[in-house]
Every structure is written in C-alpha cells, then in structure tokens.
Amino acid sequence: VTIGTAGGLRGCPEPVELARALTLGASADPAVRTHVLACERCRAIWTDQQQIIALGRQLPFEPPTADRLRLVRGTVLAAARLDRGVSPRRGAALIAAAAFAGAAVITLLATGLLVHRDRAQRPSLTEGSTTERGTGGPPGIRRRSPADIRAGAGARFTVLSGPPHEKVELQEGALRVSVEPATGGETFRIVTRRGEVEVRGTIFETVASSAGLTAVRVERGRVVVRPVPGQEVILTAGQNWQLAAAAPAALSPAPGAAPVVSKAARQRQHPGAGARAGVARTAQISGAPATSWRRDDFVPGGPARSGRDEAGRAVPAAAGSERAVDPADLAFGEGLSRFRAGDPAAAARAFERALALGPAPALAEDVWYWRGVALARSGASGAARDVLAVFLGRFPLSARAGEVSVILGRLLHEAGDRAAAESHFRAGLHDRSARVREAARAGLDALGSQAGQ
C-alpha cells in the first residue's frame, strides 16, 4: 500500500464517490468500502460524515397536534376546492381597473400577493372574456409560477416558458398579470409582436398594443420596458408612459378604466392638454419612431398611490396625479350594501368578485370573513364551511378567529361532523368577546345534550 498525500492512500476515491458510498451503505461499490477500511484519511472522513448523519437524525421534531393537523387539513381541502392559495406571502393588492373590452392591449400588474396556479378556473377579467393559454414550461415538477394571468375579452396568449424565466406571448387582446416580487434571478416577460416588458418585481401595470408596447404605469418597484431589441427604459414607482403614435383607437377606456388610459384618451382627443402644470406632461411622440423612445417620453403621474422602490425607499406619488379607485374596495362595498339590504347571496357574489380582484391585505381579512358570513346566511352551508376554514387558515391571529370558529362549529354541527364542531367550539371558549365565549359554550352544550339523548 502506497501512502499518498495528506495521510491518504494513493487512489483515494473522489469526495463525491465517498458521499455516494456512504449513502448507499452496503450496496456501495465494494472497492470503495475496502479502500475506506484501509485508508486512515478516508476512514476519518467517512466516520465524520456518519456522525453528521446520525446526529442530524436526532434533531428534535415535535409533531403537530391533532387539532393543528385537523385545521391545516381542513384549510388545504377547502382551499383546494376553492382553488385559492394559502400562501403566506400577502403583499399589497393592487388591481388595475382595466376592462379594456375589445381593446388590443395588455394590462400587466405585479404584486406580492397570492399565487394562483390554475388559471383556467379563475374568473376572467371581464364578463364574457375568454382565455386561451399555452402549457409551456419544463417537464417534471414545475416550480410555482410567480404570475397570475387573467385574460380580457377575446384575448389569446401563449405561455412560452415556465419558472424561473417565464415568458408569455400575447397574440391578441388584453391580459392582466400579477407577479410576485422577483427574487433570485427569476424573470417574467410579456412579449408582443414588437417590444416587450420585463417585470422587476412588485407593483406596476403595463398597457401595450399587440403590435407593440403602448403604455406602462408603475405603482411600485421597477419595470424594464424594451420597445425594440437593444433599447431599455426602466420605470420606477409613480411613473408611466404612453406612446401616442402607437396607441390604437381601441384604447378608449371602459368605465372605471385605469387613469393611465383615461389620460391616453384625453391626449388623443386634446393633444397637448394637461401637458404642463404637473398634471400629465404629454406622452405623445406622434410620428416618432419607436427607436427614439426616451425616458422623457413617459408621463409622470398615474395613480396617487405612493410606492417603494427596490431599496425599500418611499416613492411619493407624482404631483397632480389621479388616484385609482381600487375595484376590490368597490366590490367589497357593494357586497356590504347587498348584505345590509337583506340579499346575502348577492353579497356573497360581490365578495367573491372582490377576492378575485385581489384585495389589499388589510381588506382581504374583511372580505374573507364577510364572504363566509354571507354564504352561511344565504344557506350555502358547504361553501360557507370552506370559506370559513380558509379564513381560519389564513388569519389564525385575527380578532375574528374565535367568532369564525364558532360559526364554523355551528355549520359543522348541522352537517353532522360533531368532532370537528366540538373542536371549533372549544377554540371559541377563550375568545376575548363574552358574546363569542357564550356562543361557544352554547354550541358545546348543544353537542352535549344531543349526545345525552
């Protein structure tokens, strides 16, 4: 036996081979095992790594309690039926009020909000709109897409590739896309026949014609616009632009459309109007070739919402800009009105719309709560149970968690699931509200008296 360097034998296996042999154990290459027995250095490595494995297997693990498992299980099943994620990432919700019916535009919106994967089952952007989508992406287990794509009327698009470098080609129509903040080199791009937009995270929206990019509005974060290959313009929070020369007549906004589109329409009707005084400098570059686009071509303004750039610095809204009305807020308000008017079924539908629009985090809890209550009040007990279970999964620390537990307990009791009902009533026993505690005790009493019969 010849001694090699560092105390090892000549012909020591590569570290990778050692790792493999250690994992495979008895079925490892006999030559490697024999070598390890003879070689002091390899034996030391082998022993060390065995200790690391053995020690790792002793890492403490406290299994979840039955109640926790039951709660999480219920949340998963309810969310699966509703096809809604229960991601912990709850960023600010922002929805473009763009209902560009018949327009050949893209509306692109990036948020740090929930991830919805099954796009086909989600509500489309507008009534009667259609969605066609490709099934691109690598085979095997796909990473979760950070994007949520919704199609406007008559939209046709193809998902050319999946995460981490997602690429969507728009052939025709309107798209609205929510994208998680990009991390770790992930990218999301929408390409049109000419020009593309690349998401650099957080919140923005883009309007473009299918023939080329037309307008972009950034709410938060950063967007890279490439009107033609080799040219890039980076927009940050509060900025937007519009290429009037390329803006098709179809950009006329539907009622409630985003301000950027309203401005576009005004610009077309009154070129130069509002071009100064900080309202909306003209974005028109009529007749200018796309290759001449400059940063100055973009209209500062857009919604009055403040934002933060990628460094987390607050970015004030542009002076004189208009404030976008959050359609999720509107839908929520409509739901409350319907509920107060004694129409819980219509209220539940309005709350469902609000959820589909991606409410802001502060609003989301209210929407989920009221949707569950409205469904329960309308007699849709099964759906109410699902929604309330999702509520408890998503907002376990909510001040309403106890109340929701008791409501869900009642619904489960009615459905004959006594064990689950009891668990939820017990969860309400320690609520800060005496009314909820009383209701929880009443629920348990009802279960007890029923059991005694």
Binding residues for other proteins, rule: CB under 8 A, are: 15-20, 23-24, 48-49, 51-53, 55-64, 68-81, 85-89, 117-118, 138, 140-144, 183-184, 385-386, 389, 393, 396, 408, 412, 417, 420, 423-424
Residue 174 or 427 with smaller CB distance to other proteins: 427
How far apart are CB 51 and other proteins at their closest, in Å?
A: 8
- How far lies 233's CA from each of 112, 144, 294, in Å? 23, 28, 7
3-state secondary structure 284-308: CCCCCCHHHCCHHHCCECCECCCEE
How far apart are CB 225 and other proteins at their closest, in Å?
A: 26
Q: Dump the DSSP string for 99-127.
A: --TT--EEEEE--S------GGGS--SST
Residue 334 or 395 with smaller CB distance to other proteins: 395
What is the distance, to the nearest Å, from the Cα of residue 313 to the centroid of all Cα atoms in its chain?
22
How far apart are CB 430 and other proteins at their closest, in Å?
A: 17
Q: How many other C-beta atoms lie within 10 A of the C-beta of residue 268? A: 16
State the Cα–Cα distance between residues 23 and 25, nearest whole angstrom: 5
How far apart are CB 69 and other proteins at their closest, in Å?
A: 6
Residue 260 or 384 with smaller CB distance to other proteins: 384
H-type helices in 15-174, by residue range? Answer: 15-24, 30-38, 40-56, 66-82
Q: What is residue 409's three-state secondary structure?
A: helix
How far apart are CB 155 and other proteins at their closest, in Å?
A: 22
Residue 77 or 341 with smaller CB distance to other proteins: 77
Residue 247 or 406 with smaller CB distance to other proteins: 406
Q: Answer left, alpha or beta for residue 277, where phi above 0 means left and psi between -120 and 50 means alpha.
A: left
How far apart are CB 147 and other proteins at their closest, in Å?
A: 13
Helical (H) or strand (E) element with 205: strand 204-209
The beta strands (E) that lie in 211-318 are given as 212-218, 222-226, 233-236, 240-242, 307-308, 314-315
Q: Dump the DSSP string for 336-357.
A: HHHHHTT-HHHHHHHHHHHHHT
How far apart are CB 217 and other proteins at their closest, in Å?
A: 26
Residue 69 or 211 with smaller CB distance to other proteins: 69
Residue 23 or 171 with smaller CB distance to other proteins: 23
How far apart are CB 185 and other proteins at their closest, in Å?
A: 11
State the Cα–Cα distance between residues 79 and 448, nearest whole angstrom: 31
Residue 64 or 289 with smaller CB distance to other proteins: 64
How far apart are CB 113 and other proteins at their closest, in Å?
A: 14
Residue 57 or 432 with smaller CB distance to other proteins: 57
Helical (H) or strand (E) element with 260: helix 259-269
Among 376, 379, 381, 374, smallest CA distance to 348 is for: 374
